[in-house]
Amino acid sequence: MKKGCPACNKEKIFAFSEELIGTRYKANVEKVETIGTTDLYKCSGCNTDYFKEKNMYNKLTKNSKELLVEFYNRHLVLNEKLRKQIDQIGITDDWNSDKLIPAKIELNNGMIHDFARIRISKNPPMGYYFDLFETVIYIDEVKSINQSEFSLSKEVRDKSKNAEELRMSFYPTVLQTADKRKIVINSLTLFFDFQNIKGSELSLANEFWDFKNDKYIYATETLKEILVIVKE
């Protein structure tokens, strides 16, 4: 058995199961705090912070601790006006039953974002995925929600969510522009902005991805989406 937790042992893992404490790691990971419904733990050996999800200890980043505190301390439920604006755009459920809406938003301070990923969830945004967003906005900072010219239609988003895996980590959906150029997106996608093609110009091509077709346009740029936090 190793002395200390995975982080004490300089192992590059983000999460480990509760069963490993006492079987693989002789570590002292103890509950220090509960924020909302999330229990936070600390390893007494290296002071690494963890939160527990089901039976897994996940490393708590600085970012996620702040997100967690804000999630429970702020008023993040949609008001009637914003709810109506969201209904106009349409909601796509992701695999965790979180509700996602691609939008253009205007903040109370006048700033405008064209690539806003609105996430409505009962659960706080915890984990490494949420650290990918450089900018996080809370819904109480938002004045209005509108259709973004870069967002894909609900029909396209829903279809891309259910796409089959045809190559390793590749879940293609074929889209088309009005002049019949073919675009391939991978997995659940909310926005498109590549080679002057905007998401709102795209519709389903209703064809299967053909690996021999070299006319397809594949978006290779990563979009600068910002995350907007809403509590369900």
Task: Give the binding range for Zn ion (CB under 5 A) out of 6-14, 16-24, 50-58, 222-230.
Answer: 6-14
Task: Give the binding range for Zn ion (CB under 5 A) out of 17-25, 46-54, 145-153, 185-193.
Answer: 46-54
* Given 42, 43, 78, 186, the residue binding Zn ion (CB under 5 A): 43
Nearest residue to Zn ion on Cβ basis: 43
Q: Does residue 60 touch Zn ion according to CB under 5 A?
A: no
Residue 167: how many CB atoms within 10 A of its CB? 10
> What token pair was written down for 116?
């806003």
CB of 62 to Zn ion, least distance (A): 17
d(CA 158, CA 200): 15
> What token pair was written down for 190?
């909310």
Q: Does residue 223 touch Zn ion according to CB under 5 A?
A: no
Question: Is 223 within 8 Å of 115 (Cβ atoms)?
Answer: yes
Counting Cβ atoms within 10 Å, is residue 151 exposed (0-12), middle (13-18) or buried (19+)? Answer: buried
* Given 20, 35, 40, 46, the residue binding Zn ion (CB under 5 A): 46
d(CA 212, CA 104): 36
Q: Does residue 5 touch Zn ion according to CB under 5 A?
A: yes
CB of 28 to Zn ion, least distance (A): 8
> What token pair was written down for 25?
């790691």
d(CA 8, CA 46): 6
d(CA 93, CA 77): 18
Q: Does residue 15 touch Zn ion according to CB under 5 A?
A: no
Q: Which of 52, 74 has the CB closer to Zn ion? A: 52
Q: Does residue 163 touch Zn ion according to CB under 5 A?
A: no
Q: Give the total of residues touching Zn ion (CB under 5 A).
A: 7
* Contact positions vs Zn ion (CB under 5 A): 4-5, 7-8, 43, 45-46
